[in-house]
Amino acid sequence: MNNGQIKIIKYEEVFADQTVRMWRDSKEQAINQNERHHIHSHKYYLSHILPDHYDIDLALLDNQVIGMIAYNEVEISQLYIHVDYQGIGIGKQLLNRAKNYSNGKLQLYTFDKNEYAKTFYEKNGFKKVGIQLENEENLTAIQYEWRK
């Protein structure tokens, strides 16, 4: 890993290209499935739809996006870490921001085939509470919940 300082900032649209590329690469690696949405649609979603319902934080290293989280008081919508920076604590840092902002309970979904994410959430206090069978990826998703 680079010896630079990791900074957590609120999402800024200047980072849209980097964020979407990182998000897509991380998701594609995790579920072995190409992203269905065109990159322009994905950037629009990130900059104009997601912020209406969620706070978005970015993890930066040397001004490069290496992680992102979208969350509100009750839910984590997205949490992705650059494939080269997984397993070194960035996800936990972002997750703790969401926990601190929460009302004491958070829910999220992750794909059942994403063993790495399931292990990560379970190590960080999330419990399986349900499943989701219908989503655009046509993959089973596990619903997780965390309580303070």
Residue-wise pLDDT tens digits, 41-60: 889 999 999 999 999 999 99
pTM across the whole model = 0.91
What is the average pLDDT value for the chain, to the nearest integer? Answer: 91
- Kindly indicate the confidence band of residue 36, based on its pLDDT and cuts at 50, 70 and 90: confident
Report domain 6-147's class. Answer: alpha beta
- What is the identity of the amino acid at 42? H
> Within the chain, what is the greatest distance between any pair of CA atoms?
42
Average pLDDT for 97-114: 95
The single-letter DSSP state of residue 45 is: I
Residue 37 has pLDDT above 80, yes or no: no
Average pLDDT over residues 22-39: 79
Backbone angles phi, psi at 120, to 5 degrees: -60, -50
Paired strand residues for 8: 59
pLDDT at 3: 52
CB atoms closer than 10 angstroms to residue 53: 11
Q: What is the pLDDT averaged over residues 25-33?
A: 78
Structure tokens at 4: 């630079």
* 19 pLDDT tier (thresholds 50, 70, 90): very high
CB 60 within 8 Å of CB 6: yes
pLDDT(1) > 60: no
pLDDT at 99 over 50: yes
What's the CA gap between 15 and 18, in Å, rounded? 5
For residue 135, what is the DSSP state?
A: S
Percent of the chain's residues with pLDDT above 90: 75
**Helix, strand, coil share (%) of the chain residues, nearest 5:** 40, 30, 30
